Amino acid sequence: MGSVSPDAVSQYLKQTRELFGDELFLDQTPTSTKTEPKKMNPDLPSNIDGFYKQIHNCTRCALGDSRTEFVFGVGDPKASLVLVGEAPGEQEDLKGEPFVGRAGKLLDKILTAIDRSRQKDVYICNVLKCRPPKNRDPLPDEVAECEPYLIHQINLIQPKLIVALGRVAGKTLLNVDKPLKSMRGILHDYHGTPLIVTYHPAALLRNPNWKPETWKDFKWIRSIIDE
């Protein structure tokens, strides 16, 4: 794990006890193999609008040819919370904005419940900026081309916390192949920024039973960003 403040560690232990009782899960070692913060490339724009202008015609992978719209990201460029999904779906591809379909509507409700919104203290984006055909999972070469964009966005925003939405986003950012349940409940590290993995809102639409666990995660998320 990278540099995490003593307050964040103590908050994490408190939350862990609230979520799981006295069992501290000491066998769960940090899972990230990519913990070194990357240096900001001096040639990249130093504000988010300039960065969008620079990359929105990207064709570094084949998805650049099949997309309708480049889905850069939306929200507060100084947000404490960055939410990261896996890739745009059909609606997002048409509109050029992340999480605008049914799952996005649910995400908006969750954000309202923690007194945030996509305009207020939150930035929403995806690992991939273009829609994969038939919403298949991102391929490794697509991630290799696109993830540096995400890293630069995060460097510009400097959030307190990143939340990976769903197993695919979580395993891609943490560079592990694990089920969602074993990535949840842990304060990971993504290039120097704390990262939590929780359920994807589309998964909650399919399995509403996971909503209470998601709510626990978002209470934890709120406690970190409210600090």
Please state, in angstroms and rounded to a whole number, the distance separating the CA atoms of residues 2 and 104.
31
Instruction: Identify the bridge partners of residue 188 per DSSP, sorted by sequence position.
Output: 195
Binds ligand URA (CB under 6 A): choice among 32, 126, 153, 214: 126
Q: Please tell me whether residue 170 binds ligand URA under the rule CB under 6 A.
A: no
Q: State how far the alpha carbon of 177 is from the alpha carbons of 32, 40, 151, 173, in Å.
A: 11, 28, 20, 10
- Shortest Å distance, C-beta 181 to ligand URA: 19
- Is the Cβ of residue 16 or residue 103 nearer to ligand URA in the bound state? 103
Site string for ligand URA, 129-158 (x = CB under 6 A): ------------------------------
CA angle 27, 80, 24 (to 5 degrees): 15
- Shortest Å distance, C-beta 59 to ligand URA: 20
Within residues 60-99, the interface with ligand URA by CB under 6 A covers 85-89, 92, 98-99
**Residues touching ligand URA: how many (CB under 6 A)?**
10
Please state, in angstroms and rounded to a whole number, the distance separating the CA atoms of residues 65 and 130.
9
- Is the Cβ of residue 100 or residue 157 nearer to ligand URA in the bound state? 100
- Is the Cβ of residue 107 or residue 114 nearer to ligand URA in the bound state? 107
Q: State how far the alpha carbon of 168 is from the alpha carbons of 40, 73, 80, 114, 128, in Å.
A: 26, 18, 23, 24, 11
Within residues 8-67, the interface with ligand URA by CB under 6 A covers none
The size of the chain, in residues, is: 227
Exposed, middle or buried: residue 33 (CB in 10 Å: 0-12, 13-18, 19+)? exposed
Residues that bind ligand URA (CB under 6 A): 85-89, 92, 98-99, 103, 126
